A and B are shown apart, each in its own frame.
Chain A
């Protein structure tokens, strides 16, 4: 991977322009001048650096609503800088960092720490603030103060807000400031000590199961509370058929709901855990084949709007232990496009535009960002990729500080070639 400062004028020439904001696809060029979009169409220009995009797709920079960059506290796993490089490798120009750091991002001061450090990073990173102090699910954080410092949404991340009364107040207060609330949807009592999907495979392996209903009952409660309070609810990493169905039903009555799915939940099923592979230990767990198919269907029908990686770096030591003790989570930025294009486009026949919207326009809309990036003078956020190149994902493709990916050795389809953001051109 190479990074360089963008030339004064750069012409991305002869590609297929996919403009997800305008819902348009056409052959053409994109001219970037002084780090901004200068023109989109058939462009003749002298003295520009030309990037040949023949056979490639040129689209908006990808946006990930769910990453863990581990700073502050676990800089041995990832930092805002190393996470940014992993994002660039995956075509991501804008990401939202979860607050489960050490200490957690639960005050205006800690939000400012992230926002200031993010300034110096090669991509746009926005903090998501903790919804409750210490992510303990009890007292509200200073949500307004955190918004002023740059927090874009609120979530206790992996710690579900179990107390329905507290969740209601978080939605009311966050709703007042028009910020989306994200709750890891798992009833922790039903989840208990579950480390994988409860089913035939967990029974075979003798591992404690996490039942499908643990997600369903929590999603149901959160949807009802969102409707009651009028707040914006974003359901993260949806993993089950039943939760997908609940979101679909509620969307008919109440529109301020969005949902994301992670690439690994689209790719794997719990049968893949048969050798206790700790890189497949994630929260929520990899579910059954039925759940996987319903997630794909939910994506196809627009119930699920966004693709988010839940990029969760862990050290070798954290994963090289027995399954019960290994940490939850996998990295996902670098492999995301190849995974989702392989499954959704090449195998399931979903059109490329729908998939790209879930990586660009839809997540930006959830967070209230400008999602119309191909307009004149918009600061450049652009990704160029080959939609059908098949390639084996290896350790060399990983730029994260950690390498806990179950995709190593898998053949993926679709590969990022260039990522352009903050005046810099990255050739992947």
Chain B
């Protein structure tokens, strides 16, 4: 079992059978994570460096945990403690790390396209852990793993993505992945936070959240970044909450019970009400666990780990 591409840079154009392979493998690792001893020797002797040029807590911990569970050796690099502050270029930093003989780089970077640049400088396998407002493929895969777990299928599934689409790598990767897997996607959010050309990528746009809830099987609720408010992309939290906030009141208006997802971190009381986040419809914590399992699957498949009994 292996994947067609050496790296995982994004889900745009990523083969459906490979997405399915990753999801299926993730389920195998889910079982491992339920065992009393959660560690397997699959990537023993492999060295992985986590290059975080941008702050991240959960993605980095999720990757680190996945690597440790697979018995890989890991090194962490974060921009705040690095020589980047001393003016070293991106190229020099990564070539230095490559020179230390590593097998894979997991990179988070604020610039769209940075992981592609990285593949030009290093021989190691590159996994994109989020590149600016471009893609976040491992998040989308863990979201799809969670949906598959909940529904048993992706083909024909109706997924709404709500919030700041313009600045969301999670939205873009989810769109590409879901469409490839045969799901339907509708985006919802303030017009100022939805890119004008997004429909050309094969999704629907609907500004009415109640209609989207009525239509959808699942909603992926994105974090609203407060700093966007100042640049008049939306006027106030009050107005955002009343137009797009996911509340129990809104959800109970509809007979069908839909699944609520959130990539975290949440602004409780803004894009999602606490009662919803903690309620039965939410699979937010399953997403977190599936995050570790999906990342184990990705690392295992890309680094050619030995089959585990």
Within 8 A of A (CB), among B169-194: 169, 172
Interface residues of A in 306-324 (CB under 8 A from B): 317, 320-324
Complex CA–CA separation, A323 to B132 (angstroms): 11
Residues of B close to A165: CB separation below 8 A? none
Complex interface bits, A291-329 against B, C-beta within 8 A gives 1, otherwise 0: 000000000000000000000000001001111110000
Q: Which of B116, B132, B169 is in CB contact (< 8 Å) with A275?
A: B116
Q: Which of A317, A321, A324 contacts B132 (CB 8 A)?
A: A324
B112 CB contacts on chain A under 8 angstroms: 205-207, 276, 322-324
Question: A-side binding surface: helix, strand, loop or mixed?
Answer: loop
B206 at the interface (CB under 8 A from A): no
- Cβ proximity bits A256-270 to B, threshold 8 Å, 1 near / 0 not: 000000000000000
- Specify the chain B residue showing the minimal Cβ separation from A200: B200
B116 touches A203 (CB 8 A): no
Judging by beta carbons under 8 Å apart, are B195 and A321 in contact?
A: no
Give the residues in chain A near B135, CB-CB below 8 Å. Answer: 206
In chain A, residues 19-44, which have Cβ atoms closer than 8 Å to a Cβ of chain B? none
Contacts of A406 in B (CB 8 A): none
Q: How far is the CA of A275 from the CA of B119 in the complex (A)?
A: 12
Interface size on B, residues (CB 8 A): 25
- Tally A residues with Cβ within 8 Å of B: 21
CA distance A204 to B201 in the complex (A): 8
Q: Name the contact of A322 in the complex, choosing from B113, B133, B169, B201 (C-beta under 8 A).
A: B113
CA distance A313 to B197 in the complex (A): 32
Q: Is B268 an interface residue (CB 8 A)?
A: no
Chain B 103-116 per-residue mask, 1 if CB under 8 angstroms from chain A, else 0: 00000011111101
Residues B134 and A322 in contact, CB atoms below 8 Å apart: no
The 8 A CB mask of A166-207 against B (1 = contact, 0 = none) is 000000000000000000000000000000001110111111
Please name all residues of chain B whose beta carbon is closer than 8 Å to the beta carbon of A205 when the two chains form the complex.
112-113, 134
Tell me the residues in window 116-166 of chain B with beta carbons closer than 8 Å to chain A beta carbons: 116-117, 131-135
B79 close to chain A: CB less than 8 A: no
Per the bound structure, the CA–CA distance linking A206 and B171 in Å amounts to 11
Tell me which residues across on chain B come within 8 A of A317, comparing CB atoms. 89
B12 within 8 A of A: yes
User: A204 to chain B: which residues have CB within 8 Å?
Assistant: 12, 172, 201
Residues in chain A within 8 A of chain B (CB atoms): 198-200, 202-209, 211, 275-276, 317, 320-325
Supply 16 A–B pairs (Cβ within 8 Å), ascending by A: A202-B195, A203-B201, A204-B172, A206-B132, A206-B133, A206-B134, A207-B133, A209-B197, A276-B112, A276-B113, A320-B89, A322-B90, A322-B117, A323-B112, A324-B111, A324-B112
Q: Beyond A206-B133, A207-B134: 9 further Cβ-contacts under 8 Å?
A: A198-B197, A203-B197, A204-B201, A206-B132, A206-B135, A276-B117, A322-B90, A323-B113, A324-B110
